[in-house]
Structure formats: structure tokens, C-alpha cells
Amino acid sequence: MTGWAYLGAAIVLEVAATVLLKLSDGLVRWQLALASIGFYALCFLFLAPALKTIPLGVAYAIWSGAGIIAMAILGTMVFGQSLNPAQMGFIALLLVGAIGLRVTTSL
């Protein structure tokens, strides 16, 4: 697996963990809370090898930015949350930044 594949897996696991955290209802539903913690642990198991080949700042910026973008989309589509136009614009800037970091980082 390449560093980018590890980073992609870490992003997917982090998003899944965050969704489970939301569904845990403030950790009241302890089974979902434990599942969330497990997914976060798996996330870091995939993030660590990515950091062997991808510069730390680039990997972390893409990891956190992609997670923010995914959660904003899931928040609106799954949880019925809304974003105003300014918020959508700033999230779009995160997307542009993550893509820009990816295309300008050679390994």
C-alpha cells in the first residue's frame, strides 16, 4: 500500500468514527461510543504508515481537511444540518487546499 492509500483509509476510518460518535448521543449509547473509539484507533494505525512517506504537514492538512469536508456533507445529507453560503464557500476552500496539497506533493 502506498502512503496515499494509507492516508485515504485513515480518512475513511476517521469519518466513520466521527459518525459513530455523533450516533452515540454524547456517549450515552456506549456500544456506539466504543465502536467510535475502535475506529479512531484503526484510523491512527493507518495514518502512521502514511507519515513515513508523506510530509507530516501535508498529510495532516489533507487528513483533517478531507474529514471536515466529508462530515459537512454527511451532516447535511444524513443528519439534516444546514450550512449557509459563507460556510459552504469556506469548506470549498478546504477542498481546493487539500487537492492543491495532493497535486503539489511528490514522493
Q: What is the pTM of this model?
A: 0.88
24: nearest Cα among 16, 32, 34: 32
**The pLDDT of residue 107 is above 80:** no
Nearest to 87 by CA among 107, 95, 104, 36: 95
Are the C-beta atoms of 19 and 73 separated by less than 8 Å? no
- Give the rounded percent of residues in the chain with a pLDDT score beyond 90: 86
Q: Is the pLDDT of residue 106 over 90?
A: no
According to the model, what pLDDT value does residue 12 have?
Answer: 98
For 31-81, what is each residue's pLDDT tens digit?
Answer: 999 999 999 999 999 999 999 999 999 999 999 999 999 999 999 999 999
Across the chain, mean pLDDT equals 95
